[in-house]
Amino acid sequence: MAVMSDAAVFSDKDGILVDDVPYNVDPDRIRLAPGVRGGLRRLHERGFRLVIVSNQGGVARGYFTEEVLCGVEERLWDLLRGFGVPLAGFYYYPHDRLGRIKNYAISCTCRKPRPGLFQKAARERHFDLRRSWCIGDSLNDVDAGHAAGCRSVLIDNGNETRWKLSERRVPDYIACDVNEAAGFIMDASGPGRPVRPRVFARQ
């Protein structure tokens, strides 16, 4: 079985890996979402490396400081390490052009749906983006992953409500959780598989 040592799974954090508690930065309240343990373990055994990519506009809005995200990252490390999955990177975007904290009230190429965080991770960690995947719960996640050259799976957990589609915002697959997403990724990543299979039935 092929090992994807230079391939990553870029995952959103809230609502995908952990229960969605809006603007939560308390490590004690961070809990893994259903389906995460089994799905990530399978992907890790196949050789995919896990990278978290997350918009953290709460910094720009003054809800919490950037420094407290260190505790969030440590908690994620601990949770993932508990079932044998290392974290290859934690990339977040603290800016929001509408924020009230002056130094963070800017716009750049990193906030999803822009692909900057994916590209930065690929440069620093030497990932092949065309062999990598994005898992998210909004079409902005899908858009960012495709803009970076990845394939994508949308977790349909109710967080996407607008469904404004374009070529880049059509996911390769829709899953109910990370475990189902992992099964599709593994099946679609075998030798001879097409670069961008497309499955989208949502109206």
Residues identified as active-site:
12, 14
Pairwise CA distance, residues 153 & 185, whole Å: 8
Residue 86 has which token pair?
Answer: 């290392």
ω into residue 113 within 30 of 0, thus cis? yes
Sign of CA dihedral 199, 56, 111, 53: negative
Q: Can you count the helices (H) and strands (E) in the chain?
A: 5, 6
DSSP 30-49: --BPTTHHHHHHHHHHHT-E
- The alpha helices in the chain, defined as continuous H runs, are 36-46, 69-81, 116-125, 139-148, 178-188
Q: In the β-sheet with 133-136, what is the strand arrangement from edge to edge? A: 87-93, 49-55, 8-11, 133-136, 151-155, 173-175
Pairwise CA distance, residues 32 & 170, whole Å: 27
* Token pair 């389906």: residue: 35
